């Protein structure tokens, strides 16, 4: 029989360490929010306002009134959504092929998908820039969608392949025996069973594309400026308006945070279900 730890022991060994970890993880975000609701003059004179009675929304009004941040959020949403569609289209079909077919070079290709993630993104900027310039896609949503897909697809294929391996192949065979084609079995049988994994992969791709900065800075421009690049432009040469900058950070983090809270249960089940084979 397991002995229940005493309250002092539990506080020292469990509760306090967890509280320290949570405070360490959430501290920067709390500080960012407090900075965003503190008046600029107060920030310069006294620092961050902790008392709610001193909070103001001037920084948010200036963010939406003096900048094009809402337009930049729209560009980020278009790029992230397009990357999700392209990434899932390629990752689902590739993962199904790796999971269900045995062909020469299969293990080598899977290894290459893993090796791609080991290289820093900065190595791909120059070849992608040359390619997009020759195709006439610079400063377009398509350029950023394709570039972001190069980051998201390799890990997504690994993630979905692991999930599909947990689905018995006998279900595909039974569906094809009843008259389904291979694509029909994928659409009618495998995809519904893989839905939690697809949701988890889609959220991963969306967050990756939403927070991406290097490709957006290099391949984008005046016509397509995403949220991450817009935040960087709020940093002046001689001074930084911390209230305006942190307000942009809070607004930029809200869509991903809300999306995660909505699909949290499905995301966790999708991430864990693919790790069990059988």
pLDDT tens digit sequence for 57-100: 999 999 998 889 999 999 999 999 999 999 999 999 999 988 88
Residues 214-233, buried b or exposed e (16+ Cβ, 10 A)? bbbebbbeeebbbbbbbbee
What is residue 216's predicted lDDT score, i.e. its pLDDT?
A: 93
Give residue-wise pLDDT tens across range 17-33: 888 899 898 888 899 99
Please give the pLDDT value at position 54.
84
Give the integer Cα–Cα distance in Å for 256 and 7: 38
pLDDT of residue 274: 47
Q: CA torsion angle for 108, 113, 115, 117 (degrees, to 10)?
A: -170
**pLDDT for the residue 147:** 93
pLDDT at 43: 84
Domain boundaries defined on the chain: 7-60, 67-273
Residue-level pLDDT at 1: 47
Predicted model pTM: 0.84
- How much is the pLDDT for 148? 93
**172, 100 Cβ separation under 8 angstroms:** yes
Place of tokens 């350029």: 143
Residues of the chain where predicted confidence (pLDDT) is lower than 50: 1, 274-278
The position carrying tokens 């984008």 is: 220
Close Cβ partners of 2 (under 8 Å, ≥ 6 residues apart): none
* DSSP-derived secondary structure letter, 14: I
| Of the options 2.60.40.10, 2.30.40.10, 1.10.3720.10, 3.30.2130.10, the CATH number for the domain spanning 67-273 | 1.10.3720.10
Angle at which helices 195-211 and 141-165 cross, to 10°: 150
């Amino acid at each position: 029989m397991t002995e229940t730890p005493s309250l002092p022991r539990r506080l020292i060994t469990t509760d306090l360490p967890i509280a320290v970890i949570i405070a360490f993880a959430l501290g920067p975000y709390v500080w960012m929010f407090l900075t965003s609701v503190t008046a600029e003059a107060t920030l310069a004179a006294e620092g961050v306002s902790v008392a709610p009675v001193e909070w103001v929304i001037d920084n948010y009004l200036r963010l939406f009134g003096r900048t094009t941040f809402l337009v930049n959020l729209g560009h980020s949403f278009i790029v992230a959504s397009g990357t999700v569609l392209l990434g899932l289209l390629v990752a689902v079909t590739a993962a199904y092929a790796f999971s269900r077919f045995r062909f020469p070079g299969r293990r080598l290709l899977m290894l290459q998908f893993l090796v791609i993630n080991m290289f820093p993104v900065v190595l791909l900027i120059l070849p992608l820039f040359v390619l997009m310039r020759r195709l006439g896609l610079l400063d377009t949503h398509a350029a950023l969608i394709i570039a972001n897909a190069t980051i998201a697809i390799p890990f997504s294929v690994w993630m979905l392949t692991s999930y599909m391996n947990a689905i018995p192949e006998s279900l595909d065979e039974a569906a094809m025996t009843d008259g389904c084609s291979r694509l029909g079995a994928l659409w009618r049988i495998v995809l519904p069973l893989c839905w939690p994994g697809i949701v988890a992969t889609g959220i991963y791709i969306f967050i990756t594309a939403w927070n991406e900065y290097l490709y957006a800075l290099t391949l984008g421009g005046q016509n397509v400026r995403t949220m991450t690049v817009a935040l960087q432009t709020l940093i002046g040469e001689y001074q930084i308006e911390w209230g305006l900058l942190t307000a942009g950070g809070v607004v930029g983090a809200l869509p991903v945070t809300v999306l995660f809270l909505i699909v949290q249960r499905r995301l966790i089940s999708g991430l864990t279900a693919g790790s069990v084979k059988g």
